[in-house]
Structure 1
Amino acid sequence: MLRILLTLFAALTFSTPATAERVKDLGQFQSLRSNQLTGYGIVVGLAGTGDDGLEYSTQGMKGIAARFGITLPPNLNPALKNSAAVMITADLPAMAKPGQRLDITVSALGKAKSLRGGTLLMSPLRGADGQIYAMAQGNLAVGGLGVEAADGSKLSVNVPSAGRIPGGASVERAVETGFGDTPELTFNLAEADITTATRVAAAINQSLGMGRARAIDAVSIGIMAEPGQEARIALMSRIENLTVQPADAPARVIVNARTGTVVINGAVRIRAAAVSHGKLTVRVDEDPRVIQPGPFSRGRTETEQASDISVIEQGAPMFETADTASLADIVKTVNAIGASPADLVAILEALKQAGALKAELVVL
């Protein structure tokens, strides 16, 4: 598996030439970002899989009843098996206008076993500033399934305590972007890179005229623009469709210690080094023996433990890496010695400590 993975990355790295990309694929304008919305609500219509009388679920139901002029007794604590308290989350896209629909995710807050078949009652969704930006309501689509038998046995498929409502929220308020009045437009790269930021600014200047754009830092590019939303929208559309040759990614080795996955990008280089990596195997064999007492004796049958510990060390020849070895050379060397993912990680860490690995080693 390791051989196939490394060979695949080598083929992709050395057979695919770098191509130019659109500016819109490298980042986004600072004013055009989404906003997170959250809310609290009650799901009703469950088939006995609700919260079963939790205090906050009961308070939520009393609040809903109060909307319709119904006042429940203060000491009433009904067993709300057919309802559940939930948290609602959604993303409000940039420039969303009142009346547009949003997809929402509904997740159980308490002991509800399943939200299948439930209906979310009208609930407000608030932004980070505490203002209401959308209202949510609708029937849940739950992909999970939970079944519980009378003897206590349970079966759960996926997560039945969470679901989605496509188009379940209606936007009630637009977010003020203010990009029409700012002194200049700001384009932010998705990944910080000084070279890419400089190239994006140069491409904008080449298209719009010198001095219109400047690289503020490794992420942001400032663009001079005329005031007014219509003029700036046209300018932003023009900039987004410019093509730029992004900078090569920095040399990096990614190691997932939990799964044993090792990914090496094409910029990795290794200086001249000699490596010897052997394998040590410890084997423990247990051979217990049963000892019987003599005839007519008062002894008891006992078990005598017999263990045999052996250590096998497989010698490995030392191999040498050439100066500025490329990814293809690394793949050939690893395949030649038959290193496992764990062995490869140990070799890379040692090369990094020795100063021979010219790359950032990232362990997940």
Structure 2
Amino acid sequence: MNKWLISLVSLLLVSWGADAARIKDVAQVAGVRSNQLVGYGLVTGLPGTGESTPFTDQSFNAMLQNFGIQLPEGTSPKAKNIAAVIVTAKLPAFTKQGQTIDVTVSSIGSAKSLRGGTLMQTMLKGLDGKVYAVAQGNLVVSGFSADGADGSSIVGNNPAVGMISSGAIVEREVPTPFSRGDYITFNLLDSDFTTAQRMTDAVNNFLGPGMASAVDATSVKVRAPRDASQRVAFLSAIENLEFNTAEGAAKIIVNSRTGTIVVGQHVRLKPAAVTHGGMTVAIKEKPTVSQPNALANGDTTVVPDSDISVTEKQGKMFNFQTGVTLDDLVRAVNEVGAAPSDLMAILQALKQAGAIEGQLIII
């Protein structure tokens, strides 16, 4: 059994059994989410690692005009200590005006590094085009780069991306439907009809009959008080309720790039026979020299000579009986010494033959 390494490296055995989980771990409240913000700005103070591009020069001129400085028409600043950047951030739910959030700053031009730079005041907008935060501050860049006189260079991590902790001040709040209506809706992270019904039963057992109802495989509506302060206490009690989630469907997940294979607990095999073997074709080139006779007036040439050999391993066959479990599948595959790529081919063939009770998903 020296092939058990296959199961340890390329076959990850996962059991999706019924287990108690809190509502807050498997569902989220509808409408309570973060929002993406984005903005365009300039980073200044770079030690010669910036850029001079048309859009950077235009942005620099516009910034100077805001301070009452007008450059002569047609003048290009040619500054190497500035860089045009895109600033991104996430605005968490219930974030209030005056609070701060983290921002990520990324170069969009030819700047070599943002290390040592300062982000100028940048407006961060939402999908509706409104300004929700304003970012500014000194960048923290973990990457570095260096250039040699002979043209060689070295780059560590990514010097063109930096971060400003608490670098943006929130100027506008995002309204949420949390305090509106007579219901709070929970959306399951993984849609499942059984889980939705079990969650509904758990809430009704706690609050009383008819307080919760499953809308579909994802959403569960719960009747809630209208007063906002009471709704917070109500939600705190509901989200900590525990119930048994449904067992996952029988699945086999195959990652064709890494060779990782994940097999669910409920995967079963119908009667089938599998043979495993391999053929190796080796081609070796042995060029030879062709020497003409002394009086032939010919040229000495190199003539290719190929040596082809074919080696076929002795195939092994094993049978799967009705209701074969995951352990039986792993043991049989280990016995034939299948590599991860061979195991993928075996699983695909079994699925095409209708011998797998479950989904085969290849990513």
- Alignment TM-score > 0.5, same fold: yes
Q: Distance in 2 between matches of 1:183 and 1:314?
A: 70
The structure-2 alpha-carbon separation of the partners of 1:344 and 1:65, relative to structure 1 and needing over 3 Å to count, comes to same
User: Equivalent residues in 2 for 1:1-364 (5 A)?
Assistant: 1-5=5-9, 9-10=12-13, 13=15, 18-52=18-52, 54-295=53-294, 298-364=297-363
Q: Distance in 2 between matches of 1:297 and 1:35?
A: 85
Q: Distance in 2 between matches of 1:80 and 1:325?
A: 71
Q: How many residues align?
A: 359
Shift of 1:30: 0.7
Q: Distance in 1 between matches of 2:199 and 2:75?
A: 65
Q: Read off the aligned partner of 2:29 and give its amino acid letter.
A: F
Q: Read off the aligned partner of 2:63 and give its amino acid letter.
A: I
| 2:350 partner SS | helix
| 2:276 partner SS | coil
The structure-2 alpha-carbon separation of the partners of 1:71 and 1:2, relative to structure 1 and needing over 3 Å to count, comes to farther
Q: Distance in 2 between matches of 1:139 and 1:189?
A: 40
| Comparing 117-126 and 289-298, the one that deviates more | 289-298
Shift of 1:309: 1.4
The answer (yes or no) to whether the contact 2:10–2:259 under 8 Å persists in 1 is no
| 1:123 partner SS | strand
The answer (yes or no) to whether the contact 2:17–2:247 under 8 Å persists in 1 is no
Q: Read off the aligned partner of 2:119 and give its amino acid letter.
A: L
Q: Distance in 2 between matches of 1:307 and 1:208?
A: 81
Q: Which whole-Å deviations, capped at 9, do the CAs of 1:65-93 have from their partners, x for residues lacking one? A: 22322223331211121110000111110
Shift of 1:294: 4.0
| 2:179 partner SS | coil
Runs of 5+ unmatched residues, structure 2: none
Please, what is the CA RMSD of the aligned residues? 1.7
The structure-2 alpha-carbon separation of the partners of 1:346 and 1:17, relative to structure 1 and needing over 3 Å to count, comes to closer
Shift of 1:185: 0.9
The answer (yes or no) to whether the contact 1:95–1:174 under 8 Å persists in 2 is yes
Give the alignment's TM-score, normalised by structure 2.
0.94
Q: Distance in 2 between matches of 1:118 and 1:296?
A: 79
Q: Distance in 2 between matches of 1:178 and 1:28?
A: 13
Q: Distance in 2 between matches of 1:272 and 1:191?
A: 32
Shift of 1:160: 1.2
Shift of 1:267: 2.1
Q: Distance in 1 between matches of 2:84 and 2:105?
A: 10
Shift of 1:296: 6.9
Q: Specify which structure has the bigger relative contact order, considering alpha-carbon pairs within 8 angstroms and separated by 6 or more residues.
A: 2
The structure-2 alpha-carbon separation of the partners of 1:359 and 1:5, relative to structure 1 and needing over 3 Å to count, comes to farther
Q: Distance in 2 between matches of 1:341 and 1:326?
A: 19
